[in-house]
Amino acid sequence: MHLVDTHCHLDFNRFDDDRDAVVARAAEAGVKRIIVPAIDFDNCAAVLALTEQYTGVFAAVGVHPNSSAEWQQADIDRIRKLAQHPKVVAIGEIGVDYYWDKSPQATQHAAFSAQMALAAELDLPVIIHNREASEDTVALMAASPLAGRERAGVMHSFSAETDIAGRALDLGFYIGFTGPLTFKKADELRRIARLVPLDRVLIETDAPFLAPQPYRGKRNEPAYVVAVADRLAALHNLSLERIAELTTANAERLFGLT
């Protein structure tokens, strides 16, 4: 079995004491590749360093909405240079977040739109963060040059309404599911997961956050993406091995993994 954790913050300090063991446990669980998205310029170097340390680790570079308060259009040139690294497979984590009041909405919109335009220029997908900003997020996605592309990107850790999922899919985006898919009260999220075509779904941990039900309350790690895959398999009455095949193929197609 071969799985891809398409969203893990492996560079965060909660992994400093046992990062090698975390990567080894992931491999033992069948998670052979991990995508680590940056959230700001300060951690881009750390993310890229991990790709050089571990064969199965790949990177996304970009500025998270909660890190965008000081955004300037010239930042695009910095991201463009970072994206030249051979193991950068996406622009991200980018998007809109109205839950945390850390950046003006207009600034978030400008940063998000500019980074999507850069992704289109570089023929890279985007990894999108959306928190309590679904309408504006999808509107900006629709207005971007990524709309309608085969490798537009993914709405990471999906937690919005069915309509938002449908609109994202119509625009060419994939839908990513994390630990909450396994939570006892997440029936609505599971209903949405059943509706997403199996050629457009990705599995993620968002580690060290959002540990799935068997590990809830503990630090999340890439090996635990198996629990997300297992729940997705049950929702579709498929084997874990089949879901692994499908989601891995999706990750390879979207991110150009080889």
pLDDT value at residue 101: 84
pLDDT value at residue 174: 98
pLDDT value at residue 221: 98
Query: Angle, nearest 10°, between helix axes 162-170 and 187-195?
Result: 30
Closest CA to 149 of 125, 180, 176: 125
Beta sheet of 174-177, edge-to-edge order: 3-5, 31-37, 57-61, 88-97, 126-131, 153-155, 174-177, 201-203
Q: Taking 90 as the threshold, does the pLDDT of residue 6 lie above it?
A: yes
The secondary element (H helix, E strand) that includes residue 95 is strand 88-97
Q: What are the tens digits of pLDDT across the range 147-193?
A: 999 999 999 999 999 999 999 999 999 999 999 999 999 999 999 99
For residues 122 and 82, give the distance between their C-alpha atoms in angstroms, rounded to a whole number: 12
The dotted CATH code for 3-255 is 3.20.20.140
> pLDDT confidence of 59, banded at 50, 70, 90?
very high
Instruction: Report the percent of the chain where pLDDT is more than 70.
Output: 100
pLDDT average, residue stretch 24-29: 98
List the domain boundaries for the chain: 3-255
> pLDDT confidence of 258, banded at 50, 70, 90?
confident
For residues 34 and 53, give the distance between their C-alpha atoms in angstroms, rounded to a whole number: 13
> What's the distance, Cα to Cα, between the start and end of the chain in Å?
16
Q: Taking 90 as the threshold, does the pLDDT of residue 72 lie above it?
A: yes
pLDDT value at residue 49: 98
pLDDT value at residue 244: 98
Q: Strand 153-155 vs strand 174-177: parallel, antiparallel, or unpaired?
A: parallel
Q: Do residues 147 and 120 make contact, with C-beta atoms less than 8 angstroms apart?
A: no
pLDDT average, residue stretch 99-116: 96
Q: Do residues 91 and 79 make contact, with C-beta atoms less than 8 angstroms apart?
A: yes
Q: What are the tens digits of pLDDT across the range 243-256?
A: 999 999 999 999 99
> pLDDT confidence of 64, banded at 50, 70, 90?
very high
φ, ψ dihedrals at 150, nearest 5°: -70, -30
CB under 8 Å to 124, separation ≥6 — which residues? Answer: 83, 88, 89, 90, 91, 151
pTM of structure: 0.97
Closest CA to 169 of 143, 197, 146: 197
Q: Is 103 helix (H, G, I), strand (E, B) or coil?
A: coil
pLDDT value at residue 227: 98
